[in-house]
Structure 1
Amino acid sequence: MKHTFTMISAGLFAALMAGPAMAAEKLTYYCSAQEDWCQLMANGFQDASGIDVNMTRKSSGETFAQIKAEASNPKGDVWWGGTGDPHLQAAEEGLTEPYVSPMREELQDWSISQATSAGDKTIGIYSGALGYGYNSELLAKNNLPVPACWKDLLKPEYKGHVQMANPNSSGTAYTTLATIVQLFGEEEGFEFMKGLHKNINQYTKSGSAPIKAAARGESIIGIVFMHDAVAQAVAGFPIKVVAPCEGTGYEIGSMSIIKGARNMENAKKFYDWALSKEAQALALQVNAFQVPSNKMAPTSDKAPDLASIKLIDYDFGKYGSSDERKRLLKKWDEEVSTLPQ
Structure 2
Amino acid sequence: MTTLKKLLATSAFTLVAAAGTAQAASLTLYCSAQEDWCQLVANTFEETSGIEVNMTRKSSGETFAQIKAESSNPRGDIWWGGTGDPHLQAAEEDLTMKYMSPMRDQLHPWAISQAESSGNRTIGIYSGALGYGYNTDLLKAAGLKAPTCWADLLDPSFDGHVQMANPNSSGTAYTTLATIVQLFGEDKGFEFMAGLHANINQYTKSGSAPIKAAARGESTVGIVFMHDAVKQAVAGFPITVVAPCEGTGYEIGSMSIIDGARNEDSAKAFYDWALTTEAQNLALEVNAFQVPSNKSSNTSPAAPNMDDIKLIDYNFTLYGSSAERRRLLSKWDEDISTLAQ
Task: Report the residue type matching 1:286 in the other structure.
Answer: V
1:23-64 CA-partner distances (Å, limit 9, x unpaired)? 221000000000000000000100110000000000000000
Task: Report the residue type matching 1:299 in the other structure.
Answer: T
Structure 1 Cα separation of the partners of residues 224 and 309 of structure 2 = 15
Bigger Rg, which one? 1
- 1:314 maps to what in 2? 314
The 5-angstrom pairing of residues 237-276 of structure 1 reads 237-276=237-276
- 1:195 maps to what in 2? 195
Task: Report the residue type matching 2:48 in the other structure.
Answer: A
Structure 2 Cα separation of the partners of residues 313 and 128 of structure 1 = 14
Structure 1 Cα separation of the partners of residues 315 and 132 of structure 2 = 21
Task: Report the residue type matching 1:202 in the other structure.
Answer: Q
Structure 1 spans left out of the alignment, 5+ residues: 1-18
- 1:16 maps to what in 2? none
- 2:27 maps to what in 1? 27
- 1:158 maps to what in 2? 158
Structure 2 Cα separation of the partners of residues 20 and 168 of structure 1 = 45
Structure 2 spans left out of the alignment, 5+ residues: 1-18
Aligned-residue identity in percent = 76
Task: Report the residue type matching 2:199 in the other structure.
Answer: N
Cα RMSD (Å): 0.8
1:191-225 CA-partner distances (Å, limit 9, x unpaired)? 00000000000000000000000000000000000
SS at structure 2 position matched to 1:72: coil
Structure 2 residue 130 is the aligned partner of structure 1 residue 130: yes
- 2:234 maps to what in 1? 234
TM-score between both structures, scaled by the size of structure 1: 0.94
- 2:204 maps to what in 1? 204
SS at structure 2 position matched to 1:22: coil
Shift of residue 20, structure 1, vs aligned partner: 8.7
1:285-307 CA-partner distances (Å, limit 9, x unpaired)? 00000000000000000000000
Structure 2 Cα separation of the partners of residues 294 and 233 of structure 1 = 26
Task: Report the residue type matching 1:111 in the other structure.
Answer: A
4+ runs deviating over 3 angstroms: 19-22
SS at structure 2 position matched to 1:340: coil
- 1:39 maps to what in 2? 39
Structure 2 Cα separation of the partners of residues 155 and 286 of structure 1 = 35
Structure 1 Cα separation of the partners of residues 204 and 178 of structure 2 = 18
Q: 1:339 to 1:20 in 2, by over 3 A?
A: farther
Shift of residue 22, structure 1, vs aligned partner: 3.2
TM-score between both structures, scaled by the size of structure 2: 0.94
